[in-house]
A and B are shown apart, each in its own frame.
Chain A
Amino acid sequence: MAAGGADKFSVLLPTYNERENLPLVVWLLARTFRDSGNNFEIIIIDDGSPDGTQEIAEQLEKIYGSDKIVMREIISVLFSSGTAYIHGMKHATGNFIVIMDADLSHHYFHTNIPPVFLIKPIAYRKQKEGNFDIVSGTRYKGNGGVYGWDLKRKLISRGANFLTQVLLRPGASDLTGSFRLYRKEVLQKLMEKCVSKGYVFQMEMIVRARQLGYTIGEVPISFVDRVYGESKLGGNEIVSFLKGLLTLFATT
């Protein structure tokens, strides 16, 4: 429990060139948390974006208050999911951490920050309902799904997920989805144990969480492609996914 006994949610947002998306994401998050009555903060971890992302973040901080929006910058060649989260968690004062990854078929946190309006209150309720250590968003169950995907992309997604289920038996239906809610202690423990980079890191966290006996709940999420050209799912991405999957297969 956070100070005062009530739950507080810290949202970690690693950003790179998100000047356009950032206000929308922050607005949606703020509104969702206000509607559900939860205390929250949004921690923006920026990788030295040249497009003015930080300037927008500072404006948002003025609008929402610096207890609600926290801006941190790291400029590092080693910037990755892992370092961004470690850095972000140092400043997190909530007892629950929400991680929203951007589109994973690309550079790991670029452009497609998925819509969150369905997620927050549902995830929170789910967590309370089952007292889960982790709540993971899934595109593959319930009324979760996608929008704007052609057949080829859906096929690759389902195929990759099938392979993942067979090889890793992870106990969660969507390992590369882009939304998770963790208890703070659980996330800290997992970050110590996980060694992969990029989105494989996300997959590894779920696999290790299962091994450590943490409970994982799922909520359906809708993943909507907002960018005008859809993300390309090319040969390179597929090869690196397979490499990551086989590495996890052999090491966890």
Chain B
Amino acid sequence: MTKLGQWLCGLVLLGSAWAALALAPPGLRLPAPCRQALLPLPVYLLVAFGCYSLATVGYRLATFNDCEEAAAELQEHISAARADLSRRGLRF
């Protein structure tokens, strides 16, 4: 199954569970407080996921390494390479 397929299945399952519980006909209803919490749940989850995403990306952005030594090392390598290759006859 594709990832899209997995997401759709998951959404359908959770969605129907939520609909069944939150939008049930009068005879089968849960107590009112439960339904009141359940009704906006999808929106809450979406917002929560949004906050999690922002926090995660922000953290990863802040901890993104800057490779100073690698850059310096590269410059040295470039000089060494040019010197060595010229010695061996490369015409740049």
Contacts and interface: CB of A to CB of B under 8 A. Distances in A.
Interface of A: 23-24, 27-28, 56, 59-60, 62-63, 115, 117-118, 139-140, 143-149, 151, 154-155, 157-159, 161-162, 166-169, 222-224, 226, 248-252
A129 B33 CA distance: 56
B2 A249 contact: yes
Interface string B41-67: 000000000000100110011001111
A117 B2 contact: no
Contact of A250 (B2, B61, B70, B82): B2
B81 interface: yes
Nearest to B90: A59
Contacts of A59: 89-91
- What's the dominant secondary structure at chain A's contact region? helix
A143 B88 contact: no
A26 B92 CA distance: 14
Interface in B68-92: 68, 70-71, 73-74, 77-78, 81-82, 84-85, 88-92
B38 to A, nearest CB: 25
B4 interface: yes
Contact of B67 (A146, A158, A252): A146
Interface of B: 2-4, 53, 56-57, 60-61, 64-68, 70-71, 73-74, 77-78, 81-82, 84-85, 88-92
A23 B91 CA distance: 10
- What's the dominant secondary structure at chain B's contact region? helix
Contacts of B91: 59
Contact of A159 (B4, B57, B77, B78): B57
B78 to A, nearest CB: 6
Given A117-B77, A154-B61, A162-B60, A27 B68 contact: no
B74 A63 contact: no
A53 to B, nearest CB: 12
Residue from the set B64, B77, B88, B92 with the largest chain A CB neighbour count within 10 Å? B64
B47 to A, nearest CB: 16
A241 to B, nearest CB: 16
A162 B57 contact: yes
B85 A147 contact: no
A140 B60 contact: yes
Nearest to B92: A23
Contacts of B81: 23-24, 27-28
10 contacts: A27-B84, A56-B90, A59-B91, A63-B90, A115-B77, A139-B65, A144-B65, A149-B66, A155-B57, A162-B53
A222 B78 CA distance: 16
Given A59-B91, A168-B3, A224 B57 contact: no
Contact of B65 (A146, A155, A168, A251): A146
A59 B71 CA distance: 27
Given A155-B57, A252-B2, A147 B68 contact: yes
A18 to B, nearest CB: 13
Residue from the set B61, B70, B78, B88 with the largest chain A CB neighbour count within 10 Å? B70
Given A140-B60, A162-B57, A249 B92 contact: no
